[in-house]
Structure 1
Amino acid sequence: MEQEFNIVLVTDKNDPEKKLKGIKGIDKQGTLETFSLEDAIDPRQFSRFDKSLNPISLAKNFWNLITNPSNYLFYSVPEKQFEQLKNAPGDLKKYEANDQVKSLIKELAPMLDESKINWKALEKWGITKDDLVQNKSLPDMLKGNGSKELMNVNIEIDGVKFSGQARVFLDLNKDEIGFKLRTKIDIPYITNFHGEKFTREDNANLKKTGNLGRIAMLQLGDKVEPCFVSLDRLTNRATYMRVSSLKRKENHRGAPISDEAWQSILAGRAVYLTGMKQKDGTFVDGYVQANAEFKGIAVVRSRQQQQTTQQSYVPQKFRDQTLSDMQHEILSTGGTIILYNLNCSDGKNRDIFYKLNAKGIVKLYDANHPANRKLFEEVIRCEAAYKQKHGIADDSQNKQQESSKKGRKI
C-alpha cells in the first residue's frame, strides 16, 4: 500500500493578507523558510510528513528551532488535496494542526532543563546568569552554541587573581549541566585536530576565510566521520560539524542552490550565489560555504580583510577629486566606487574604479578596460544599498542609461 503524506502549511499571524505558505526549512535565526503556495508546482517542494505529523524530511530538532512558533497558524493538509487547496483554499479549519505542532515541539525536541544548570559553577568565573540573559546568549547556548560574545572572566586561586576573556559553552556530558570556557588565541595554527593532520595550505584557508575548504576525517569517539571544520570567530579555535548533519537547502537567503553547487558545498568548497537578500532588503552576490560554527551555510568573509579593514585608511580625496560622503562610506566599508574624468599620474584623464583589496588597501581599476567593466555593476549595487540605508531616492537606472550613452557596457 502506498504511504500517504501530508504537507504542513502555515500562515503568519503578522501577515495582513494571511497567505498560505509551505515550509521548506529553517534558518539559523529560527525563522521559517517558506514557499508561496501560489508559486508552487509540486507538493514535494515542501517538507512532507507522514499522517502522524512526524517529520520525515527534516532533522528532529526542526520544531524546537522555531524562534516564535506562536506567530504561525499550522495546517496539516493531505498531499492529494494540494491542487484543490491551491486553487480554492476554502475553509481551512478542518486542517488546523496547532495543537499537534505544540505537542510535537514538546515531544521531539524539548529545550534543555535550565533547573539542571549549575549556575554557581559559572559564578566562580565571575559570570552570572543575568550576564548571559542581558547579551541574549542563553537561548543560543541552550541549543548547543556558545555565548554571543567573549565574556569577562575573573577568578582567584590561592589568593592570586586571574582575569581574561572566554566564550562560554554549556557542558552537557554530565547529568548536572556545567560550563566550558574557551579562551581566545591570537594566531591559530593547527597541526592535528581529532586525528586529522592539517597542512600549511589548510591553515592558510582557515586564516583567510575561517573554513578549512575541504572535508576532514575526524576521530569522534570510536568512529571516524567526515566533517566540516571552521574557526570560531570569537576564539580562533577550531570547531567541527558532521557532514551528515547538513540538510539539503534549495536556496540561501532566496538565492537558488543548484544540485551541482550543493555537491560542491558538501565537499567543503565555496560556491558563488547571486541574489542573496540582506536584512535591510537589499540583494547581494557572494560566496557561501558550510560553516561549522554556524552549523549551516554562511557567507564567506575574509578574516584577513575584517582584521585589516579596521586599520586601513581611506582618504577623502583622490588627486583632483574629493569623495562625497556616500563614496567615502562605500569605499571604507569594502564597496566599490567610480570617479569620472580623474586626472591620472600620466597626465591623462580616465574613469577609475576604487575598491579595498583583501589586505585593506585601496586599489584602482581602469573603467575603460574590458575586464573591469563588470565593476560598474558593483558600483550600482553599493550606491543602491547606501541610498536605501539612508532613505535616499535611487537613481541607479538613470546612471546606467548615462553610462550606456558613454559607450560603457554594463
Structure 2
Amino acid sequence: MDEQTTEQAQQNPQTYPEQLSDVLLVMDKEKKKIQAVTGVDENGNLKTVDANKKNQSQFMRVDKSGDLFSNFFSNFWRQLKDPTRFSFFKVAAPEAVETAKEMQKQVDAPTKEGEAVMAKHEVKEPKEQQQENKKDMETTQETLAKPETSQATAPANDNRFKAEDIDWKTLNDLGLSRERLEKAGVMDTLLKGYKTNILMPISVNFGTAVIRSEARLGLQSDANGNTVLAIHGVRKEPNLNTAFFGHEFSKEDRENLLASGNMGRVVDLTNPKTGEKIPSIISIDKLTNEVIALRTEWIKIPDEIKGVKLNEEQKQTLLEGKPLYLEGMISKKDEAFAANVQYNADKRYVEFLFDRSNNNKQSQNQQTTAQGQSQDVPRTFRGKELTDQQYNKFKEGQTVYVDGLIDKKGEKYQGYITLNKETGKAAFSFTNPDKLKDKIQPAEANKTQVAVNSEGKTNEATKHINEPLKPKQQAPDNKKQQQQEDAPKAPAKSRGRKI
C-alpha cells in the first residue's frame, strides 16, 4: 500500500479496503470527548465527526503499514495549529466505533482496564518533534539550574571562562577557530559567559558531505567542570505546541510570544532533575526562535529608565514580566517620548516595545533599549554580518568600511555604510563620505561592477560580455571577453510586413 493509495483513501474512504486500513480517533483535552478525525482545514484546525456508524464513511482512513503511517502522521502533526490540545489513537477500521465507545467510557469514568485500552492505541507525537523538544529542554535546563551571566549586568573585566580551557580542537572541527571568533568580535562575549549577539556560521565535515548552518554560541561548564561549547541553532519557528517544563502555553501566551517575544506573566516551571517549582518568565530568542526561561529571582530592574524614576508599583509590574507604559522619557536628542517597556528573559534587560503602526516618528526612530543598550540598529547589511567593532561604530553614527559584499551575480565588492538616524537604516556609498583617514583601497572602482551585475545597467565598453563583471572591471580583461565584445552582431530583424 503506497502513499498515493493512502491519499486516495482519505479523499474517498469507501474505496479503501477496511481490512487494510486504520481509523484515526482523537480526544479533545478541553472537551473531553472521543471523536473520529476527518481531516485538517486550511487554517490548521482539526476536522472531526462523532464516532458512530452513521458517520463511518467520513472517517479518515490511514495505511496500516508502519513506515507509511509514521510519514503520514508526521505530516499530519505539522499541519495542525494546536496539536498538543489533542491525544490521537489509531484503531482498526472495523473496530473503530466500538473502540471509540470504550474510550469515551474511560474519559468519563477512568478505570485501569480503560487506561490499558487507551495506551494500546495511542499515537505519540513524531520522533523528530520529540528530539527537538529534548534539545530545547536540555538547553533551558541549564538556565533553570544555574545563572547565566547577563550582558547587561556582567562586570567589564570579569570573565567566567578562560580561553586556554576551551577545547579548540572540537571548535576547529566546526570551523570555529580562535582567530575567527576574535575577528568576529565575539571572543570576549563568550569568555564573559553569555551568548554571542550574532549568528555564527558552523560546519560539520562528514568526509562525503559537509553540513553548514548558523547558530548563536555560548560556553558552559559540564558536570566535570570542563568548558564546553553550547550551540543554539536556528529553528524555523518557536515550539509553543508542547509543554515547556510542565507549562502548557495558553492561546494568549502564544499570541504574546509571537507578537512581542515576551509571554507577559510569571509561571511555575518544573526542574526535571529536582522537581523544584521555579517562578519564571519566558521570552523568545528572536535570532534563533528558541524558547528561553529566566528565574524571576535573577531579574534586575533599574531604578530609572530614560530619566523616569520608577516607583515600587512600576518595578513590580516589570518583575512580573508584564509590559509597562512610560511617559516623559528623554531621548538622546533631549526630546520627550513615551513607549511600552518590558523585561526580556533572553536579553536580560528591559526593552522598548514600540508600536510600529504608530505615526509617532520619534518613537519609531528611537534606537536604544530602556537600559541604554542598542536595540533596533540593524546588525546586517546586504547579508553581511557586522563585527562587534563595526557595529559599535555604526550605531554611534560613524562611517564603517564593509568588505566582502556579494552582488546578484556572486561577485564581491565593498563600500561604506553610515546609519541614517531618521530612518534607522544604513546609507551606502562606494566612497568614504566623511573622507576619513582610512587608507583602504577606495571602492569607487566597484561602481561599474555593481551597476551592471546588480542593477541591470549597461556599460558601453563591456555591454556584449556574457560573464559577470569582476571588482574594478570596466573593460574586457581577457581574450575571450575581448572576442565577445568585438564579434559582429547580427542585424536586427525587420519588422516590415510581408507582402
Relative to the length of structure 1, the TM-score reads 0.47
Q: Name which one, 1 or 2, has greater alpha-carbon Rg.
A: 2
Relative to the length of structure 2, the TM-score reads 0.39
More strand by share: 1
